[in-house]
Amino acid sequence: MIRDMAILDANILFSGPMRYMFVELALTAGFFQVKWTEDIHREWIKNLLKKRPDLDRNYLEKTRQLMNNKVRDCLVFDYEPIIPTLNLPDPNDRHVLAAAIAGDCNVIVTKNLKDFPAQLLAQYGIRAEHPDSFLCEHLALETALFCQCTKKIRTEYYQNPPYSVSEYLAILKKQGLIQLVSALERLTELI
């Protein structure tokens, strides 16, 4: 049963491990539905290429297209007219809130919580959550299925070379998923 309809900020899609985690959990487990916009895609791709100019833009564009094709109803449209009506600490983040509103999302998953004040979002029935707490909530709801998806990501997404459990948890920890890693360390036989 889908509990949350989540718009993923560009800082979530920027990271391959984070992107894989959210997409796989949404597809396989159906814990939540994930959404984004073409603007959010452009932002994460631009920022990733700025940080890693060695990456191939065509590969990232194929990743974007694969995500759009694989995840049902992921793209939010017609949110642009809402943007000028919104007021956020960082005006460049208004498109994310506008997409959440237009996409009927109840949560924005972002690493930049300060840019999405709770009181302001509440008037739209939306909350902002850090990916670590968001994923921990869903791990607690359906531990076995969450672990099954995590194992699938670890063994199928990373094949050259495949990662051990401890290597994969170190990758997640590096992504800022500290609480999630702590919880998964107690479940290593399942992942």
CA distances from 158 to 7, 155, 164, 165, 175 (A): 25, 6, 10, 12, 16
Domain harbouring 89, CATH code: 3.40.50
Distance CA 66, CA 68 (A): 5
Rounded average pLDDT per 10-residue block, the chain, 191 residues:
89 95 89 96 98 96 96 97 97 98 98 96 98 97 94 88 92 97 97 94
| Three-state secondary structure readout of 68-84 | HHHCCCCECCCCHHHHH
Residues 64 and 23 grouped into a single domain: yes
Query: What is the pTM (predicted TM-score) of this model?
Result: 0.94
- Do 89 and 158 reside in the same domain of the chain? no
Domain count, the chain: 2
Same domain, yes or no: 99 and 155:
no
Residues 97 and 165 in one domain: no
The two three-digit tokens of residue 41, written as one number: 């895609």
pLDDT at 30: 80
Cβ-contact 18, 24 below 8 angstroms: no
Residue at which a domain ends, from 134, 163, 179: 134
pLDDT at site 1: 57
Which of 188, 184, 171, 138 has the alpha carbon at shortest distance from 28?
Answer: 138
12 plus 39 within the same structural domain: yes
Is residue 150 located within the same domain as residue 67? no
* pLDDT for position 49: 98
- Provide the residue range defining the domain that includes 176: 142-190
